[in-house]
Amino acid sequence: MSEVLVLGATGTTGSRVAAFLAERGVPARLATRKPPSAMQVRFDWADRDTHAPALRGVSAVYLVAPVGVADPVPLVEPFLEEAVRQGVRRVVQLSSSAPPEGTPGLGAVHSLVRTTMAEWAVLRPSWFMQNFTGEHAAARGVAIGEIVTATKEGRVAFIDATDIAAVAGHALVDEDPHNTEHILTGPEALSYADVAAIIARRVGRPIRHRSITAGELAVRLTENGIPPEFAAMLAALDEDISGGSEDRVTGTVERVTGRPARSFRVFAEMELPGGSALS
């Protein structure tokens, strides 16, 4: 097959999609706003002059919509139209388990991908396990010993980004197009208190979960530099979790890839520093 364009190629899922393709010898064009090497191509959602060169000669696209944009449709729609003009057949979009098709934001992009492309898949993963590493708010909570959410006792079937990338990779290269949405979860739904206990055991120090109101969380996020509108949306998602919106487990990862999704305990052992094995 011709090249696969991977948007957000240095990001959490994009880098793993690129690795999946490389392991299978699939030619990939890695796109990012500031390419660190000649092996990558410049792509910026806000600069439409970068779209056509990035798309030229590719057969499929891994699409990560612009981050932090309340309405990404005005940016994504002309990109998809350009993709069709250049003969791209397949698009695999990273969405989220929270917004169903047609709702504002990623749900609207979902509709665009399904109706514009001849071959498509939309990935709707639950919350990332990687939120507890790196620079995410949950990771900062781990660092100081207190994870703060508005989820109460609500549970989430957290998923490893490597499993998301594996499903994305299959959707990009399988001979038959998937032409469906994939709701992706890990193998077990956990509360944030459960997660805090697993991490505490792994890192060997106390970590607790503290639940606050959605309004308090929105203020807290805004004070940490998140735009108010986006902070309110994130807080509302936590409130939805408290009501059970993410308390579900699917077998999609195993069905698509042939192997089970990685558990949070295994993720903690592999990705978090510490001396305690989790069994």
Q: Report the CATH number at residue 241.
A: 3.90.25.10
Confirm whether 174 is domain-assigned: no
Q: What is the rounded distance in angstroms from the CA atom of residue 108 to the CA atom of residue 71?
A: 8
Residues 55 and 149 in one domain: no
For residue range 34-50, list pLDDT tens digits in order.
887 777 999 999 999 99
Report pLDDT for 10.
92
Residues 144 and 205 in one domain: yes
Query: Does 203 lie in the same domain as 121?
Result: no
The chain-wide mean pLDDT, for the chain, equals 94
Percent of the residues in the chain that have a pLDDT greater than 70, as a whole number = 98
- Please tell me the total number of residues recorded for the chain in this structure: 279
pLDDT of residue 69: 82
Q: Across residues 104-130, what is the average pLDDT? A: 97
In a domain, residue 27? The reply is yes
Asked whether residue 231 is assigned to any structural domain, the reply reads yes
Res 100: pLDDT: 93
The answer, yes or no, to whether residue 224 has pLDDT greater than 90, is no
144 pLDDT tier (thresholds 50, 70, 90):
very high
Distance between CA atoms of 35 and 39, rounded to whole angstroms? 8
Asked if 83 and 25 sit in the same domain, the reply is: yes
Per-residue pLDDT at 169 exceeds 60: yes
Low-confidence winner among 121-125, 225-229, 239-243 (lowest mean pLDDT): 225-229
- The last residue of a domain, from among 101, 125, 149: 125
Do the Cβ atoms of 199 and 272 come closer than 8 Å? yes
CB count within 10 Å of CB 98 equals 19
Q: In whole angstroms, what is the distance from residue 187 CA to residue 199 CA?
A: 17
Q: For residue 227, what pLDDT band results from cuts at 50, 70 and 90?
A: confident
**What's the pLDDT at 279?**
54
- Same structural domain, 102 and 67: yes
**CATH number for 26:** 3.40.50.720
| Structural contact between residues 136 and 158, judged by C-beta atoms closer than 8 angstroms | no
Strand ranges, E, within the chain: 3-6, 28-32, 40-42, 58-64, 90-94, 119-125, 146-149, 155-156, 180-184, 190-191, 208-211
Domain span at 241: 127-159+185-247+262-279
Q: Tell me if residue 149 falls in helix, strand or coil.
A: strand
- What is the rounded average pLDDT of the residues 62-73? 90
Global pTM value: 0.94
Position 278 pLDDT exceeds 70? no
Is 26 found in the same domain as 86? yes
Instruction: Count how many domains the chain has.
Output: 2
Per-residue pLDDT of 1-32, as tens digits, reads: 579 999 999 999 999 999 999 999 999 999 99
Q: Are residues 78 and 131 in the same domain?
A: no
Which pair of tokens denotes residue 275?
A: 């001396």
Domain end residue (candidates: 104, 125, 146): 125
Closest CA to 264 of 204, 208, 200, 206: 200
Average pLDDT over residues 58-66: 96
What mean pLDDT is predicted for residues 193-222?
96
In a domain, 108, yes or no: yes
Whether 275 and 150 map to the same domain: the answer is yes
143-153 as b/e, with b when 16 or more CB fall inside 10 Å?
Answer: eeeebbbbbbe
